[in-house]
Amino acid sequence: VAVMKLKNPPVNTLSLEFLTELVICLEKLENDKSFRGVVLTSDCPGVFSAGLDLTEMCGRSPAHYAEYWKAVQELWLRFYQSNLVLVSAINGACPAGGCLMTLTCDYRVLADNPRYCIGLNETQLGIVAPFWFKDTLENVIGHRAAERALQLGLLFPPAEALQVGIVDQVVPEEQVQSTALSAIAQWMTTPDHARQLTKAMMRKATASRLITQRDADVQNFVSFISKDSIQKSLQLYLERLKEKKR
C-alpha cells in the first residue's frame, strides 16, 4: 500500500501543474506491480484540498481554460477508473474539487472535526457542477440527496456527511490514517482480478459518459467560464479570499 500525501501549500489547490503531477504519481504506482492500493491524504494542516485553482480560471485565455479543464478531466478519469484500491483519509476541509477527488475513491474516512466539511459547493461561487461531477456524487449518495446538495452547494460537517453517505466512516482525527489502512486491508482480501473487473463494470457507464463527450465538455466549460458575469464573480471571490488572508 502506498500513501500519497497531497502537498501544494497552503491549501492543496488543484493547479494545472499539481493536477498533472497527481496523474503521473498514480500512473507510476499503477505500473509498479508491487502496489495494490493507495491511501490518499493531505500533508497540509486542516485542509485535504480546497479544490480547483480559481486563478487558473480567472483572467486567462480560452486556450488556457481548455488546457486546464482537460487536466481536470484527466485526473477524474484516471482516479475513477484506477485498478488500484483507493481510500481517502480525509484529514481536513474538503470542498468542491477536493470532494470530487475523494468521490473517485473506493472508500472514504473523515476526521471528526466540525471544521472539516465536505461537499460540492460550486453553486455558492456561481458555478454549475458539470454532469460528471453530478454523476459521481449521485452514484455515492443517491439522486434526491445529490439534487439537494448540488442546488444548495452544501458542505457537510462530519456527522451529516456520514448520515448522507458521502463518507463511509468518521473517526477521531488521530485515527484517520490507521482506519484508512485497515479499510484498504479489507478491500485487498478480495482477489485483485475479480475486484478490478467488478469495479470496472460498476463504473463503466459513468466514465463512458465523459469519455464520449470530452471535447464538448471542454467547450462548454470554456464558454461558461469566459462569460463576463462569471469572470466578475470569480474575481470578487478571489478578492474576498485575499482580504481574509490579510
- Look up residue 112 and give its DSSP letter: -
Q: Exposure string (b/e) for 197-226, b if CB count within 10 Å is 16 or more?
A: eebeeebeebbeebeeeeeebbeebbeebe
Look at residue 21 in the predicted model and tell me its pLDDT: 97
CA distance 35 to 102: 19
- Cβ atoms of 108 and 90 closer than 8 Å: yes
Angstrom distances, CA of residue 54 to CA of 38, 69, 241 = 28, 12, 11
CA distance 86 to 61: 35
Look at residue 163 in the predicted model and tell me its pLDDT: 98
Look at residue 241 in the predicted model and tell me its pLDDT: 82
Residues marked active site are found at: 52, 97, 121-122
Look at residue 47 in the predicted model and tell me its pLDDT: 98
Each residue's pLDDT tens digit, 184-218:
999 999 999 999 999 999 999 999 999 999 999 99
Domains, the chain, with CATH or none: 2-245 (3.90.226.10)
Look at residue 177 in the predicted model and tell me its pLDDT: 97
Residue 182 CB neighbours (<10 A): 13
In terms of residues, how long is the chain? 246
Q: Output the tens digit of pLDDT for each of the chain's 246 residues.
A: 999 999 999 999 999 999 999 999 999 999 999 999 999 999 999 999 999 999 999 999 999 999 999 999 999 999 999 999 999 999 999 999 999 999 999 999 999 999 999 999 999 988 899 999 999 999 999 999 999 999 999 999 999 999 999 999 999 999 999 999 999 999 999 999 999 999 999 999 999 999 999 999 999 999 999 999 999 989 988 898 888 776
Look at residue 243 in the predicted model and tell me its pLDDT: 83
What is the value of pTM for the model shown? 0.95
